[in-house]
Each structure stands twice: as C-alpha cells, then as structure tokens.
Amino acid sequence: MIGQPRRVELDVQISPAEALRCLRGDSLPFAFVGAWADGEAILGSQPVGIAGSREDPFALLDRRPMIDATPVAEDPHHMIVGGGWFGFLGYGLGRLADAATPPQPPACVPLPLHHLAFYDHVLRRDSDGRWWFEMLWTPHRAAALADRERALRARLSKPPAAQPASAGAWSWSPSLDEHARAVASIIGQINAGDLYQANLALRLEGRVEGDPLDLFCAANAALPTDRGAYVSGDFGSVVSLSPELFLSRRGDTVRSAPIKGTRPCDSDAAGQQATRDALAGSVKDRAENTMIVDLVRNDLGRVCEPGTVRVASLCEVHEHAGVWHMVSEIEGTLSPVVGDGDLLRATFPPGSVTGAPKLAAMAAIAKLEPAAREAYTGAIGFASPVWGAEWSVAIRTLEVSADGHAWIGVGGAVVADSSPEDEAREAVTKVAPVLGALGAPLSEPIAAIAAVPAGLDAVGA
C-alpha cells in the first residue's frame, strides 16, 4: 500500500525530554535528540512492525516502502521524516556485512545483534523549535493515525514529571593497567607491519536503578550532543550521547564525518584554547584521522559513482560532548542501484572505531578485548522513505540489560607512536563527561597507570 507523507503542527512548547516522558508506557519508545535530520528531535512509540532477531537488517533496509512522492506544501528545507525504521545495528553485524570478519569473544550480557522497528508516525521538533505530528498516511491507518494524533496532543499538553533514575558502582573491565598492556601489544603488531591503526576499547560496568528513559533525559540535558539517542526494547535500553555522524544519506548524496583525535576541555578560556591548539597541531592525531579518512573514502568508493567521493573537510577541531575532537567529512554520490542496506553493508562497522586495514584491525581487537562489543561501535539511527537515512557511531553509549546491568564502552585509536599509558588516560578523558552527565562519576580517583614497554605481547596477560 502506498503511504503519503503528511504532517500537522502541534501547538506545544515543551522540551524533547518532556515529550519523551509523555511516551512512557507505550510500546518501544525512542528519542533522537540533537542535529538529527536537520532538526532538533525525533521521537516515536507504538511501531507497526518489528524486525525479527534473525532477519538480515541490511536486506530489510533495502526494501523501501512505497511512498507517494507528492511534495508536502511546506518550505523545502523542512522536508519531513514521517516515519521509517528506527533503532540500532550492533558491531557484531560486521560478520554479516563481510564473512571474512573475525568472530568476537563471548558477550558478558548478550543483546540482540540489531533492534529495528518501523513507525508510521513520529513526533518531530524542527530547527525552529516547532513540534509536528508527522506520518506516512495510508487509508488503512487513517482512523488510527487520527486517534493517535489526538491522544498525543492531550499528553503533550500535560507532560509528566521526571522519575528518579541513577547509574553507578562502576568498575573497569579490563583494568586501566591491563588496557595499557593491550595497547602495547597493538603497537608491537603495528611495528611488525601487521596494522597501521587499531581502535582498542575497554568498558565500565555498573548498574542502573530506575527507568533508563529518565536517565537519558537527564544526561542529554546535562551534556547535549549532535547525536543523542534513546532506544528501548525487550532486551533493555541504549542511552547514547554520541557526537559522531557515521552516515547520512539524503537523495543520492551520502556523507560521513569520522572523529579521530581527542583532548579534554578545560574550564577556563585560556586552557580551552591551549588544548584546542594542541590538538589542531598534533602530528599523531592528524595521522590517525587521515588514515581513517582514507579508509572511509575506500568504503564509500565501493557504492558511490566513480569520481564523486571527496574530502569536504579535513582534520577540523570542534567541541563535542565535553571534549575537543578532530573531525573530517567525506561525501559522495551514491550509485542509483545502491540502497540504504547496501550502503551500510559496504561501510559497516564504522572505520573510526575499527582501524586500518579494517579486517586486520578487527582481528587484533577480537583477540585483545575480553568481551564482545554489542551496540557499542555499531550504529544508531533511522532510514526514512521520505527524508533519507542517518546513523550515528554508537560511542559514549550506555547499554542497559532488562535486569539493570549496565556498561559503557570506551576506546581510542592506537598508532605506531601511541603511548600505552596515554591511551589509558584518554579513555578516562572521553568517558568522564558522560559519567558526569549520568550523575555517576567514578567513585575513586584514577590511580597512576603503570609504565608498559611498547610491543609487549599482552595476550593472556
């Protein structure tokens, strides 16, 4: 059945957090808050379809619903989202994208490889701060959508109060010293000519008390990011404060904005400028970034029209989520025979969280990291038959199982001149603002990290 994109403006003045709390109790609520789809927020609940856990999500995303392309009578720069597939794609789907991808170690608390649900209506706050009820209207769903609009108007007029939620009791897995030893092993493999770069991660494990929905609302308000996201399901919840764009497709234009290079943001203006300048002038960080730019160019070159892939910006320094980051942007023109699923299949997992060469880096990661990555370093986002598609890199992301077990992955790129101790400290730098936003900083100061000789074989250490 052909859907038609429609939208109705809602006369409400509330925050995305207040709007999300209005969806509590519905089936599979989600919220994307930040710069998603050139607006400020996309929220939804009550999907009309859920992808099966054994279904190929890449093939699913290539089966685009039929849409009446009649233009919506609004300014063209406010093109609607309407609905589509929303959710996450876990890092482990790399094996589905490329059978040569090495297997991961076992997961501590297994989550599904992906979670995608199809929504034929969403709440959207545009870049002007206006709220809309957007839909993919069909005659079959006309009455249900009208009822849904009325119900949401009533709820949004009286948003409920926040409920208490907390996260904490954090412990490192592995320890920071053990992570430094693993970094040293990666440096040894680079010196041996096996790799150029690998993004090695560790994790903080803890617990969440209360509803992760409230935790996301509080954390996103405390540390706004371009790609904030909350996704829920039977498995539990994902709370993401990612600053990084993995892929955006609008029409036949595709963009990626990998991040490589991090410095803390000091509290005083002089300190901020100094750390920003240090990152901008860092030869090591520029080398990390340009390696991944080349990898992303190669990945996009597999699915874009020949000669169209270009670097739009290189190694620019921006403030994101409490730290300075070095960001580049690559774009290209997608081949007309390539759908969203094939685009993801050609580029997944994101190059900025794997390394170069990608498969060799992933093999090294699998041997040294003690547990499987799940949503972390995969992608969170949506594919809309109207707007296009947009996916974040799932970093700065809290994963919560249905019983409250919680974990946050954090890592960094290791290159030939990396320092094992500095890489361990960088992990703390990256995760500290996220823990602060969650209201759950580490309970003990970070102890000194033992010096580790570069090239040490840390496997089994």
CA–CA dist 40, 124 (Å, integer): 8
Q: Of 260, 331, 369, 430, which residue is the catalytic one?
A: 260
Question: Do β-strands 259-264 and 227-233 pair in parallel, antiparallel, or remain unpaired?
Answer: unpaired
Select from 126, 119, 124, 134 the least CA-distant residue to 72: 134
Asked whether the beta carbons of 335 and 309 are under 8 A apart, the reply is no
CA–CA dist 61, 221 (Å, integer): 31
CA–CA dist 387, 45 (Å, integer): 19
Backbone torsions φ then ψ of 44, nearest 5 degrees: -165, 170
Q: Of 40, 134, 178, 244, which residue is the catalytic one?
A: 244
**Secondary structure of the chain in the HEC alphabet?**
CCEEEEEEEECCCCCHHHHHHCCCCCCCCEEEEECHHHCCEEEECCCCEECCCCCCHHHHHHCCCCECCCCCCCCHHHCCCCCEEEEEECHHHHHHHCCCCCCCCCCCCCCCCEEEEEECEEEEECCCCCEEEEEEECHHHHHHHHHHHHHHHHHHHCCCCCCCCEEEEEEEECCHHHHHHHHHHHHHHHHCCCCCEEEEEEEEEEEEECCHHHHHHHHHHHCCCCEEEEEEECCEEEEEEECCEEEEEECCEEEEECEEEEEECCCCHHHHHHHHHHHHCCHHHHHHHHHHHHHHHHHHHCCECCCCCEEEEEEEEEEECCEEEEEEEEEEEECCCCCHHHHHHHHCCCHHHCEECHHHHHHHHHHHCCCCCCCCCCEEEEEECCCEEEEEECCCEEEEECCCEEEEEEEEEECCCCCHHHHHHHHHHHHHHHHHHCCCCCCCCCCCCCCCCCCCCCCCC
Question: Do β-strands 166-173 and 84-89 pair in parallel, antiparallel, or remain unpaired?
Answer: unpaired
Structural tokens at position 280: 């901008």
Q: Which residue reads 């150029």 in tokens?
A: 196
Residue 244 a catalytic site member: yes
Q: Which residues are catalytic?
A: 244, 260
